[in-house]
């Protein structure tokens, strides 16, 4: 199954900021018609204001994007939120919100888009997860659970959609310079905790955080018709952070 970028739209969630904005910019530069989806303005058209946690709207959303743009070739699930909470302080609201945005939302959007793509003869889905999918951090139970769940869902989607030409993968970033690295008003990439603990110590072998466009480069291959055989994979883009101990 092959297609050129002009053969269908690519939906990018979380396209208003950070990694999602970089993915949208890269795919637009590569010639795709990108439909941005975010709770905040994306700054380009076509885009829609939508909450990915609103899973009841996903079939209608995919149907209307397909109706407006002919067909959907790709989906990149990027939208995310991080709400730190220690286990002892866990709240149902923050727990459900993180699972809603980073597990329920992407799963049901991937289902709706994936079934559409299967009916059209093929497509590509990329889920942005995290090194939190396999490695955990204190005060990140809900985030860890959401990312681990989305990696499991990525595999099952790849199993069931592969025969229809739909390839499904996840990209797991490590430290990326976006507003998400600002936790409780403090940019963790500007702290001694990061500089000394990761960069100077060499615990982070490439010795710097990534820029969002470096994640977009990985997505650009996985979403493209050039990717004909990578499916069910988890591409870790963390500068070798998690291969050592």
Ligand X SMILES: NC(=O)c1ccc[n+]([C@@H]2O[C@H](COP(=O)([O-])OP(=O)(O)OC[C@H]3O[C@@H](n4cnc5c(N)ncnc54)[C@H](O)[C@@H]3O)[C@@H](O)[C@H]2O)c1
Nearer to ligand X, 3 or 42 (CB): 42
Q: Using CB atoms within 10 Å of the CB of residue 122, give its burial: 0 to 12 exposed, 13 to 18 middle, 19+ buried.
A: buried
Locate tokens 């500007």: which residue? 190
Distance, in Å, from the CA atom of 94 to the CA atom of 84, rounded to the nearest integer, reads 9
Check 95, 143, 198, 229 and give the catalytic one: 143
- Binding-site member from 25, 38, 104, 151 for ligand X (CB under 6 A): 38
239 near ligand X, rule: CB under 6 A: no
Residue 235 CA from chain centroid, whole number: 12
230 near ligand X, rule: CB under 6 A: no
Binders of ligand X: how many residues, by CB under 6 A?
28
Nearer to ligand X, 6 or 41 (CB): 41
212-222 and 18-29 are packed helices; what angle lies between their axes, rounded to 10 degrees?
Answer: 50
- Binding-site member from 3, 10, 13, 98 for ligand X (CB under 6 A): 13
101 near ligand X, rule: CB under 6 A: yes
Stretch that binds ligand X, among 88-96, 118-126, 177-185, 221-229 (CB under 6 A): 177-185
Cα–Cα nearest to 61, from 161, 53, 158, 160: 53
- Residue 143 known to be catalytic: yes
Residue 151 to residues 48, 86, 132, 159, 188: CA-CA distances in angstroms?
A: 26, 23, 10, 13, 25
- Binding-site member from 1, 29, 31, 40 for ligand X (CB under 6 A): 40
52 near ligand X, rule: CB under 6 A: yes
19 near ligand X, rule: CB under 6 A: yes
CA dihedral defined by 173, 175, 177, 180, rounded to 10 degrees? 80
Residue 106 beta carbon to ligand X: minimum distance, rounded to whole angstroms: 9
170 near ligand X, rule: CB under 6 A: no
Distance, in Å, from the CA atom of 163 to the CA atom of 177, rounded to the nearest integer, reads 37
Residue 150 beta carbon to ligand X: minimum distance, rounded to whole angstroms: 9
Q: Which of residues 188-217 bind ligand X (CB under 6 A)?
A: none
Which string of x and - marks every residue 108-147 that binds ligand X (by CB under 6 A)? --------------------x-x-----------------
Cα–Cα nearest to 163, from 196, 191, 122: 122
Distance, in Å, from the CA atom of 14 to the CA atom of 235, rounded to the nearest integer, reads 20
Cite the active site residues.
143
* Binding-site ranges for ligand X (CB under 6 A): 13-14, 16-20, 38-40, 51-53, 78-81, 101-102, 128, 130, 173, 175-176, 178-181
């Amino acid at each position: 199954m092959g297609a050129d970028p002009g053969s269908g739209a690519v939906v990018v969630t979380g396209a208003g900021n950070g990694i999602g904005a970089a993915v949208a910019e890269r795919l637009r530069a590569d010639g795709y018609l990108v439909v941005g989806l975010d709770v905040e303005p994306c700054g380009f058209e076509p885009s829609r204001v939508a909450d990915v946690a609103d899973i009841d709207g996903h079939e209608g959303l995919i149907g209307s994007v397909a109706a407006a743009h002919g067909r959907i070739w790709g989906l990149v699930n990027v939208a995310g939120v991080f709400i730190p909470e220690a286990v002892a302080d866990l709240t149902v609201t923050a727990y459900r919100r993180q699972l809603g945005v980073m597990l329920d939302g992407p799963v049901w959007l991937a289902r709706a888009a994936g079934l559409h793509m299967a009916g059209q003869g093929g497509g590509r889905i990329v889920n942005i997860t995290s090194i939190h999918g396999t490695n955990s951090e204190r005060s990140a139970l809900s985030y860890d659970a959401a990312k681990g769940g989305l990696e499991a869902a990525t595999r099952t989607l790849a199993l069931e959609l592969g025969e229809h030409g739909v390839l499904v993968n996840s990209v797991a970033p490590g430290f990326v310079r976006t507003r998400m690295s600002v936790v409780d008003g403090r940019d963790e990439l500007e702290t001694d905790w990061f500089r000394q603990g990761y960069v100077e110590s060499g615990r982070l072998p490439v010795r710097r955080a990534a820029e969002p466009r470096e994640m977009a480069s990985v997505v650009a291959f996985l979403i493209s018709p050039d990717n004909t055989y990578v499916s069910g994979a988890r591409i870790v883009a963390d500068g070798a952070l998690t291969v050592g101990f």
